[in-house]
Amino acid sequence: MESSNPNPIKGGEFLIRKTSPSEIFIPEEWNEEQRMIAQMCDDFIFQEIWPNIERIDKMEEGLMVQLLDKAGELGLLGMSVPEELGGMGMDFKTSLLSTERLGKGYSFSVAYGAHTGIGTLPILYYGNEEQKAKYIPKLATGEWKAAYCLTEPGSGSDANSGKTKAVLSEDGKHYILNGQKMWITNGGFADLMTVFAKIDDDKNLTAFIVEAKSEGISLNPEEKKMGIKGSSTRQVFFNNVKVPVENMLSERENGFKIAINILNIGRIKLAAGVLGGAKATINDAIKYANEREQFGRPISKYGAIRYKIAEQAIRTYVLESATYRAGQNIDDAIAALIAGGMPKNQATLKGIEQFAAECAMLKVCGSECLDYVVDEAVQIYGGMGYSAESPVERAYRDSRINRIFEGTNEINRMLTVDMILRRAMKGELDLMGPAMKVAGELMSIPEMGDAPDGVFGHEHKYLENFKKVILMVAGSAVQKLMETMAKEQEVLSNIADMVIWTYEAESVLLRVEKLIAQKGEAACELQIAIVKTYFYDTADRINKAGKDALNSFAEGDELKMMLMGLKRFTKTEPFNPKTSRQLIAQALINENRYTL
């Protein structure tokens, strides 16, 4: 894999470095092989999942296993696995594409994601050669199914506080596992589990590869859940389970690091999965709006409904732009590390770790995008949306878990800011210089420049100013709050939201600029409307989040000065969002589906 970018951007660097459209990947650039993979995933969903969705939700015995077997036969379970280990050996963004296309598979997509992600990747990236040779081919084909046992009744967000214990046997041949894990996806049928436990009185977790047929493993009945009803979710108990010493994964006490790095991958994969779910739900909403008549005409002709369809499309298109931008950034980082002599497995982990903040951001904006889309879809359906006979009722229930999965959105907001600040403190990101520059700008008289040029002249200026707001608020917060910063969760959430919205805004702007360069302005009328509407809304949201943060810790003349700066940096030119949304909605209504 070669990097298309000789100087790839680093994680978090988007805040201080200007990115050009040529540096990013856009979904319009999928090659023929990638399009064929996407079509194969679509066909699988249409032929195998949707016709059987009621049977899946009723947890018909053996059905999910059969479906995973079929996915394995098509190669869908080995997308990220190297060819020499029985997989397809695709790059990272192609694995995101398959996750997206299978993301409209409701409970199946959860089972698929758990198996191919947290189930397979710990062994693929941290296993030794013997472990990989023994287990990965079986996981890649689906002969064996995988689960990931981290969460415990007393340890959710604080994963390292787990109580499951591992003690070396007297003959030194086994570790004896005792403990309890809960919310284990695929727990009811998994053949292989990655289990996290503490050896003796260790401070940090150690990971073990545990075969599910091992004596001493027992399961609680299937959990009854609000949504994703077809996904197997069990508690798993370990009672004096013997695990061969050679099944320790990586090194002693490296389990917490494994968990964190695998969760980074899970977070961006979740963003891709919910993207697929959002597109499918928008299709349902548009079709119903075109079919349902009230007061003598289809409800798709009413402005209130068009607003909802347009906003669903805007948020989904923006999410897609950001997800695949980050996917390519990760691929570029991996390629650069391999070119520098690092082994591929290590380079993959390191490349993804570099973009841990972006992965956390995408998890938040992805799950919240889908929640918005399904909520408004139920509203468009009206009373029918509340009926279990409608597809949007299931989508609504299934969506809710995504704000909890892979670390809650609250935790991921904290992590976003924490990881960017840590990179700055390590000298990997120069946030201080730009932040000082913005502080100096607050003291100066604003320059009256020429009117911006080009279709996105204003948006480029807004983007530059959004970044100034983040640097101003975050820089001041770090100075003022110092050691207590980690406890100021409301302020951290405000900053995280501004960072997320700015990343999304820049991503969609760059995507559409690249598209215009390829197709011309006239062919990109809808995409231009999306960018302009999103920026218009984002300016006000950043103003509110910035104001809330500043009022929380600043005071006096300094507060007044920063609030004036905030007002200046979030000022926008007059813009008509109604006309813009009408344009977007009408185009999708005419096509009777999401076409962007």
pLDDT of residue 1: 41
Single residue among 357, 382, 411 that ends a domain in this structure: 411
CA distance 498 to 473: 10
In a domain, 536, yes or no: yes
pLDDT at residue number 522? 96
Answer whether 253's CB lies under 8 Å from 205's CB. Answer: yes
Structure tokens at 467: 């970044």
Given 387, 411, 435, which residue is the final one in a domain? 411
Amino acid at 130: E
Inside any domain, residue 8: no
CATH of the domain at 58: 1.10.540.10
Query: Tokens in use for 489?
Result: 């969760």
Nearest to 70 by CA among 84, 56, 58: 56
Positions annotated as catalytic residues are 406
Residues 236 and 265 in one domain: no
Query: What CATH number is given to the structural domain containing 173?
Result: 2.40.110.10
- Residues 424 and 511 occupy one common structural domain: yes
Q: Does some domain include residue 582?
A: yes
User: Looking at the structure, do residues 188 and 123 belong to the same domain, yes or no?
Assistant: no
CATH code of 387's domain: 1.20.140.10
Distances in Å between the Cα of 480 and the Cα atoms of 278, 543, 556 are 40, 20, 13
Same domain, 424 and 379: no
Two structure tokens written together for 49: 């999942």
| Positions in the chain short of pLDDT 50 | 1-3
Query: Rounded to an integer, what distance in angstroms lies between the CA atom of residue 169 and that of residue 180?
Result: 20
Q: Residue 579: which of 306, 314, 379 has the closest Cα? A: 306
Residue 2 maps to a domain: no
Which one of 145, 179, 202 terminates a domain?
145
Which position has the token pair 């064996």? Answer: 144
How many CB atoms within 10 Å of residue 391?
21
Please say whether the beta carbons of 354 and 21 come within 8 A.
no
Predicted confidence at residue 2, as pLDDT, reads 44
Task: Supply the DSSP symbol for 82.
Answer: -
Which tokens in the block code for residue 507? 């991503």
Evaluate whether residue 583 is within a structural domain.
Answer: yes
Q: Are residues 396 and 456 in the same domain?
A: no
Using a 10 angstrom Cβ sphere, with 0-12 exposed, 13-18 middle and 19 or more buried, the burial of residue 418 is middle
Per the structure, the complete domain to which residue 19 belongs is given by 13-145
pTM metric for this prediction: 0.95
162 and 141 in a single domain? The answer is no
Distance between start and end Cα atoms, the chain: 29
Q: Are residues 488 and 508 in the same domain?
A: yes
Same domain, 321 and 459: no
Q: Does 355 lie in the same domain as 343? A: yes
pLDDT digits (tens, 9 = 90+) for 379-400: 999 999 999 999 999 999 999 9
* pLDDT of 8: 82
* One domain for residues 405 and 444: no
Helices 577-591/525-553 angle, 10° precision:
130
pLDDT 10s digits, 89-110? 999 999 999 999 999 999 999 9
Asked whether residue 141 falls in the same domain as residue 154, the answer is no
Shared-domain flag, residues 295 and 174: no
In a domain, 534, yes or no: yes
Domain count for the chain, please give it.
Answer: 4
Alpha-carbon 61 to chain mean position: 31
In a domain, 6, yes or no: no
Is residue 5, in this structure, part of any structural domain at all?
no
Q: What pLDDT digit, counting tens, does each position of 449-483 carry?
A: 666 778 999 999 999 999 999 999 999 999 998 88
